[in-house]
Amino acid sequence: ILLTADTFIYDQSFPNAPYWKKLLRSGVPVGRLFFAPAAAKLSSTEIWAAIQANALKLPNTISIDSRGRVFLTPHQVNYTLSSRLSRLNFEHIVSGNAGRSFIDKVQVRHEASPLTIPPRSGILTSCSMYLKEHFVVLNQGEGNFGLHTSAILLDPIKTFGTNIMLEIYNTGDQPVVNPMVSVDIFRAPTLADPEFKTLAKKRQRLLGTAHELFKCLDANPPRDNAEARPRTKITVRGQSGTTENRSVLGQANGDLKKFLDGEACPIGSRTMVQALDAAPPEADTLIVDHFPDLLEHIELLTRIGDVKLKRIIFRKASRTHGYFLSSNAHARLDTFDAIGIRVYWYDESTKELYAHVYKKGHGFFVREELTRKFQETTILAFYGSAVGLDPADTARITDLVEGLTGFIGPNVGVLTGGGGGVMRLATDQARSKGALTGACFLELEAQPPELGVDFFNTFQESSRHFRQKWFEAADFCIFNVGGVGTLEEIGIEMCNLKLGIRPRTPFVFFNSKFWGDLRKQVKTMIATQRAPAWINDYILFTDDPAEVVAFYRKKLQVL
């Protein structure tokens, strides 16, 4: 299909505006084609039922007509880009190399009441929308309220938050005041998740194979005791890629099963390097005792062109820290993902096999068949102490979890630090509601990990602050009764809110008496201009679960 399009700039004050023509060259992506079948369009009744069931969250300014069209008014704000934006950063934004988080940092928000679009001009504004199972198509109509010049198809999962951008251009010679946007809503293709059973069976096969192979490796000597031959000759503190690390490399559904027939033992190699060098031609799966360290990682990368590696299954996270991964190990996991190698953890503690998958750029270990559900889940970060709670706090937090799972809808999850106290209570309550449970386990003697959650990751004690970034996978933060550790986490999250690393979403401090002094301190910071005044609009100190839900509705501006 060959399409012809005209391009023009309607805001010459835009940073680097004269540079636009140089960017508009052959091969620049300008959009996508999509098919919206009429049979998938929701009727007025279906739209309202989805809203009432919390399967769909639309702005609280909507009107629905009898034809199933939804009309909404954007937020009373408009956005511009910082005038200090460099040309290089501008190129990164236009090319798509700069992520949404970077755009949020360089955008300048302006309150605008009423929201006005001058003649033959445009604005960038926003609305709140949370899509999980639906697509939204913006209707251009007659253009009397302006034309939407950016993407007109909003996807489920990606369209999720209070900052869904709308770019509206007024084609007329009269101003538009408080523009209205018309949208149609379509149900996403129904997937009873046919992959779920397939992935579950695949995981069970891999789990069984890994379990038996590790048992065989433990019970038998390596096949080859010859000296390993590293390619890079790199050593660090006397260590090299030749460190003992029992390994087997074979084809997932072929060689690995043959190893288990009893005749192939002794099996495997003493080091990972030897296993790679002895790889059969069709080998695609590396089973290794310890997750590859830096030097083994380098050796593996030098051989990546020689083997058809698709997956790595490891049993132990660290030689020196047992169950806990280092910050460098997390970087190596990112590298494996970037080059298309899937990583699995055979966890002896739970006798389970977990795949390493990503949500908002942060990796977690999840049973593979739950990957899609995990990535679609709205996650609540519950902060608080591992110390036991009194009955009143227990009752309040129980009611809060119930209220929030009801408000957000069926696909919800809870993320904690994986300890006792508040963390255990939130996890147990979420599990009882059928919600996903997750943890970022930290290597602490005083807080042993409480295993059995649906998604998790582990961090060595020296990676405390590094670990905190994984809580950015959560959509909302709730701070319960806690100690100095919780106070530290509050500081990081509040700073993330101020800097735009987190979008402007509600922050709840649950137990107003306990957090009373912090409330005073925040007010003092604002009064002395050490914190932005708007931040106070997104903070709630309360003991009432119903007030939390009402606060969410108000600040998210959704029904």
Per-residue pLDDT reduced to its tens digit, 511-521: 999 999 999 99
Distance, in Å, from the CA atom of 109 to the CA atom of 165, rounded to the nearest integer, reads 12
Rounded to 5°, angle at Cα 374 from 50 and 372: 80
CATH match for 377-559 among 3.40.50.450, 3.40.1710.10, 3.40.50.10860, 3.20.20.100: 3.40.50.450
Portion of the chain with pLDDT greater than 70, in percent:
94
117, amino acid identity: I
SS3 274: helix
Q: Domain 17-187 is in which class? A: mainly beta
Tokens found for residue 215 = 């048992």
Number of H helices, E strands in the chain: 16, 26
pLDDT top residue among 77 and 265: 77
Tokens found for residue 531 = 């914190």
Cα–Cα separations (whole angstroms), residue 222 to 64, 264, 270, 274: 69, 11, 5, 10
Candidates 379, 383, 388; CA nearest to 490 is: 383
User: So what's the pLDDT on residue 233?
Assistant: 77
Residue count (the chain)? 559
236, amino acid identity: V
Helix ranges (DSSP H) in 235-380: 255-259, 272-277, 294-302, 327-338, 371-376
pLDDT top residue among 533 and 278: 533
Answer for the pair 196, 89: CB distance below 8 angstroms, yes or no: no
Contacts of 391 (CB under 8 A, 6+ apart): none
pLDDT, one tens digit per residue, over 299-334 is 899 988 888 899 999 999 999 999 999 999 999 999
CB atoms under 10 Å from CB of 229, counted, come to 13
Q: Where in the chain is the domain with CATH 3.40.50.450?
A: 377-559
Range from 22-36, 62-76, 161-175, 265-279 carrying the lowest mean pLDDT: 22-36
* φ and ψ of 541, to 5 deg: -110, 120
- The per-residue pLDDT of the chain, averaged, comes to 86
Q: Is the pLDDT of residue 69 over 70?
A: yes
Q: Where in the chain is the domain with CATH 2.70.40.10?
A: 17-187
pLDDT, one tens digit per residue, over 327-356 is 999 999 999 999 999 999 999 988 999 999
CB atoms under 10 Å from CB of 195, counted, come to 14
Contacts of 550 (CB under 8 A, 6+ apart): none
pLDDT, one tens digit per residue, over 240-260 is 778 888 888 887 765 555 655
CB atoms under 10 Å from CB of 508, counted, come to 23
125 forms bridges with which residues in the sheet?
A: 166
* φ and ψ of 15, to 5 deg: -55, 135
CB atoms under 10 Å from CB of 351, counted, come to 9
Q: Is the pLDDT of residue 501 over 90?
A: no
Tokens found for residue 160 = 């999720």
User: So what's the pLDDT on residue 487?
Assistant: 93
User: So what's the pLDDT on residue 261?
Assistant: 55
Distance, in Å, from the CA atom of 559 to the CA atom of 550, rounded to the nearest integer, reads 10
User: So what's the pLDDT on residue 549?
Assistant: 93
Distance, in Å, from the CA atom of 32 to the CA atom of 495, rounded to the nearest integer, reads 37
Distance, in Å, from the CA atom of 214 to the CA atom of 216, rounded to the nearest integer, reads 5
- Please report how the helices 545-556 and 391-408 are oriented relative to each other, as an axis angle in degrees rounded to 10: 30
pLDDT, one tens digit per residue, over 445-499 is 767 888 889 999 999 999 988 999 999 999 999 999 989 989 999 999 999 999 8
User: So what's the pLDDT on residue 80?
Assistant: 85
Answer for the pair 242, 236: CB distance below 8 angstroms, yes or no: no
pLDDT, one tens digit per residue, over 187-215 is 988 765 556 677 788 888 888 888 888 88
Distance, in Å, from the CA atom of 146 to the CA atom of 10, rounded to the nearest integer, reads 13
Candidates 400, 377, 404; CA nearest to 157 is: 377
Cα–Cα separations (whole angstroms), residue 492 to 326, 380, 453, 499: 21, 16, 25, 10
Answer for the pair 520, 536: CB distance below 8 angstroms, yes or no: no
Which residue's structure tokens are 């809503």?
Answer: 185
